[in-house]
Homo-oligomer: A and B are copies of this chain.
Amino acid sequence: MITIGIDIGGSSIKAALTDAGQRIVARTRRPTMAEYERERTISQIDECIGELLAHVEARDVEGIGVGVPGAIDLENGVVYYPPNLPGWGEVPLADILSRKWDIPVRLDNDANCAALGEAHFGAGRQREHFVGLTLGTGVGAGIIIGGRIYHGQRGFAGEFGHITINSDGPLCNCGNHGCVEAYVGIHYMMREAIPLLRADMNGLLYQRAIANPESLMPVDLSEAAQQGDTTSRDILRDTGKRLGIAIASAANLLDITTFLIGGGIAAAGDPLFEGIIESAIARVLKVHRDSLTILPAELGNDAGMLGAASLML
């Protein structure tokens, strides 16, 4: 069974031709060009599909799955105002693509696709119930229950980033105070980092920041941490601890005790994971302590694309 999986990100579109979602037969990518009109982005998607279809007969392709960064009307295949694709509004993307290519199209949210990819091919294999977190600008999640994506009432489930961890905490983009995303999202982390690195002017991170203060990114934190920089390790560990608070709340509410951590920051490794585990274990109900399992996601940037390809399975 041949399917195509497409992951639309804010900066690039990744697409693969897969055998049953699993083996990647061919892959390609294009810039998203989100800063142009939506037709431009859609034609970038079409270019990806066209390139992949050069490898097979179109009639052999059972379906195209698309992961979109935003809310989806699943039944009708309509994208709703994706925050990182300005100017999209309401777009019947499934119809647009299936008419053009005469292939069935299914959409889902990108975090759901990433979790589904891990469920089928990554760290979620043989796990019926888990939450797949994607740490990036925000904190997305796909909730997998019984091996399937849990969508909720209208398809909006999994807004893990908007679990409150401190009701008097910093203002979040969503308008609420103290969401876990307001602590753990990339921008907040970097804002937190600045006073800390000023206090450690001999640290690796400070030297990087001096060299290029505008572009200090989480990858700098994780690289500096790996090289033993204490300030960077502390920032990552604190980030992990905050994530652990929300993980404990979610585990208690859902009775799901496996959490897979993916996305850019997850590559930061030990200090982040140590912080998560320390805080989640200390906070979760006793009944969950032994089964709590926090693991790195395995598929990296391919998770969303592979999950999208398996939407059609």
Contacts and interface: CB of A to CB of B under 8 A. Distances in A.
A295 interface: no
Nearest to A256: B153
A167 interface: yes
A71 interface: yes
A287 B253 contact: no
A163 B256 contact: no
Contact of A174 (B155, B159, B285, B291): B285
Contacts of A286: 174-175
A159 B253 contact: yes
B250 A253 contact: yes
A70 to B, nearest CB: 10
B255 A151 contact: yes
A44 B167 CA distance: 45
Nearest to A155: B255
A165 B162 contact: no
Most buried by B among A167, A256, A284, A288: A167
Contacts of A164: 164-165, 245-246, 248-249, 283
A156 B288 contact: yes
Contact of A153 (B129, B153, B168, B285): B129
Contacts of A287: 71, 156
A313 interface: no
A129 B287 CA distance: 26
Contacts of A12: none
Interface string A265-292: 0000000000000000011111110010
Interface in A138-174: 141, 143, 151-160, 162-168, 174
Nearest to A176: B283
A252 interface: yes
Interface string A206-234: 00000000000000000000000000000
A173 to B, nearest CB: 10
A264 to B, nearest CB: 22
